[in-house]
């Protein structure tokens, strides 16, 4: 074995507003479909924003028994379903001969808010003795990683990340490190989020982060468009199986892409805002290129963070120009948030999956709803639908409240 293992992607699982399962997600991406609509999970009549991205058709009892499902917050249910799909699709059998070499890193940005809201109402209305004894293990953010590990008997490295909208990008990066240095042969990695509840909708709404296009929710998420007015909140989960190349080849696994490396940085600027120059995200992209041994001109596609907020999109555009110079205009750039909304802590895992499948199928996802060009956002945003293209190297970017930035670098797999 060489000093460091190469790390490849052999399993994918996704629960998104485009449907239950990675196949429905990818079909939606290819067809430039829209998963945004009126919120049905809660009564939104008093909220300023009344639409979002729900995983319609998701029934937790299709994946776990009713009693077990009732002891999980929705974010855990979504994560268990996505992880089951990723593991099954990878063909990896976790058994006594390898379970100590298979680990889990799955994060959540805000934890079990739905459980917290319900039990807090119980506390106020009925008293402390009526609060569920499962409150804490249902709401804490590490429970997706815990449940997936227990369910599959994965006894290798296990942890959870919590870094707002970069949560699952950090999870995938940390899992990559564990496989690369030989601490695990395979890692189940990603993120989950179920934030469609009163407190999250009110909190994000009152800080004017959410779009308020209640009369036209289908066109509300419009990254890089001049008339963008905020992001669209969504729920979901994304899980990938990262595996050492030697392990994957030994068992003849299907390989979707190679994860070359990643970069992290901080803006050190503001709790929610981004510096207009984009130096923080720019530094993360530079670090990803440096770590991966990739030259800027080799990158042909970027799956952007692209939230559809006025500040983020022009800042990310500036960051891409800062890193790539004139080559920035020669790359395809897209934001799949235009199709599924912003899945917060799950978003970067789902976008990683879109990027890996894009490389595998040689298709660049589209940025839908881009109707009015913004002079400050002047790159090639792949606005005409999913684009067939030959490309070998891609980045996927994430930024989060607190000034976190992550960029992951992937390469198309070829024997």
Tens of pLDDT along the chain (415 residues) come to 458 999 999 999 999 999 999 999 999 999 999 999 999 999 999 999 999 999 999 999 999 999 999 999 999 999 999 999 999 999 999 999 999 999 999 999 999 999 999 999 999 999 999 999 999 999 999 999 999 999 999 999 999 999 999 999 999 999 999 999 999 999 999 999 999 999 999 999 999 999 999 999 999 999 999 999 999 999 999 999 999 999 999 999 999 999 999 999 999 999 999 988 999 999 999 999 999 999 999 999 999 999 999 999 999 999 999 999 999 999 999 999 999 999 999 999 999 999 999 999 999 999 999 999 999 999 999 999 999 999 999 999 999 999 999 999 999 998 7
- 404 among known catalytic residues: no
**CATH architecture under which domain 261-412 falls:** 3-Layer(aba) Sandwich (3.40)
pLDDT of amino acid 1:
41
Superfamily of domain 7-250: Thiolase/Chalcone synthase (3.40.47.10)
Cα distances (angstroms) measured from residue 118 to each of 113, 121, 132, 196: 9, 5, 10, 13
Contact 138, 76 (CB under 8 A): yes
- 165 among known catalytic residues: yes
pTM over 0.95? The answer is yes
HSE of 397, CA atoms in CB hemisphere, 13 A:
32
**Which two structure tokens, joined as six digits, stand for 287?**
């670090």
pLDDT of amino acid 290:
97
pLDDT of amino acid 203:
97
Which candidate in 47, 152, 165, 197 is catalytic?
A: 165
Residues of the chain with CATH 3.40.47.10: 7-250, 261-412
pLDDT of amino acid 276:
87
Which candidate in 47, 147, 170, 342 is catalytic?
A: 342
Contact 218, 36 (CB under 8 A): yes
| Rounded CA separation 32/369 (Å) | 10
pLDDT of amino acid 195:
98
To which residue do tokens 């400050």 refer?
Answer: 376
Which candidate in 147, 152, 305, 370 is catalytic?
A: 305
- 47 among known catalytic residues: no
């Amino acid at each position: 074995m060489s000093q460091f293992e190469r790390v490849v992607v052999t399993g994918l699982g996704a629960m998104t507003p485009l449907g239950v399962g990675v196949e429905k997600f990818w079909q939606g991406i290819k067809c430039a479909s829209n998963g945004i609509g009126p919120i049905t999970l809660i009564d939104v009549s008093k909220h300023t924003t009344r639409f979002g991205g729900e995983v319609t058709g998701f029934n937790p009892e299709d994946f776990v028994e009713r009693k077990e499902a009732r002891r999980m917050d929705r974010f855990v249910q979504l994560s268990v379903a996505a992880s089951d799909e990723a593991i099954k699709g990878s063909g990896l059998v976790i058994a006594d001969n390898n379970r100590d070499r298979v680990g889990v890193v799955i994060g959540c940005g805000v934890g079990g808010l739905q459980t917290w809201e319900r039990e807090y109402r119980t506390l106020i209305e009925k008293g402390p003795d009526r609060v569920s004894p499962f409150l804490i293990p249902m709401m804490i953010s590490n429970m997706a990683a815990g449940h997936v590990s227990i369910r599959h008997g994965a006894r290798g490295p296990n942890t959870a990340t919590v870094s707002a909208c970069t949560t699952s990008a950090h999870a995938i990066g940390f899992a990559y490190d564990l496989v690369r240095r030989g601490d695990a042969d395979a890692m189940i990695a990603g993120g989950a989020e179920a934030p469609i509840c009163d407190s999250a909708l009110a909190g994000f709404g009152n800080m004017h982060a959410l779009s308020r296009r209640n009369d036209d929710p289908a066109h509300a998420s419009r990254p890089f468009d001049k008339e963008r007015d905020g992001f669209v909140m969504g729920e979901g989960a994304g899980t990938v199986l990262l595996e050492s190349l030697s392990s994957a080849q030994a068992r003849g696994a299907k390989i979707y892409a190679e994860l070359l490396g990643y970069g992290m940085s901080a803006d050190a600027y503001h709790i929610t805002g981004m510096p207009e120059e984009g130096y923080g995200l720019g530094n993360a992209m530079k670090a990803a290129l440096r770590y991966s041994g990739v030259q800027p001109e080799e990158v042909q596609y970027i799956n952007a963070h692209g939230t559809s907020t006025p500040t983020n999109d022009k800042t990310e555009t500036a960051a891409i120009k800062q890193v790539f110079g004139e080559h920035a205009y020669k790359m395809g750039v897209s934001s799949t948030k235009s199709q599924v909304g912003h899945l917060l802590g799950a978003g970067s895992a789902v976008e990683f999956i879109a990027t890996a499948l894009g490389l595998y199928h040689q298709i660049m996802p589209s940025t839908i709803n881009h109707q009015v060009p913004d002079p400050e956002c002047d790159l090639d945003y792949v606005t005409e639908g999913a684009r067939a293209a030959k490309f070998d190297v891609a980045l996927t970017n994430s930024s989060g409240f607190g000034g976190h930035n992550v960029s992951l670098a992937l390469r198309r797999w070829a024997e």
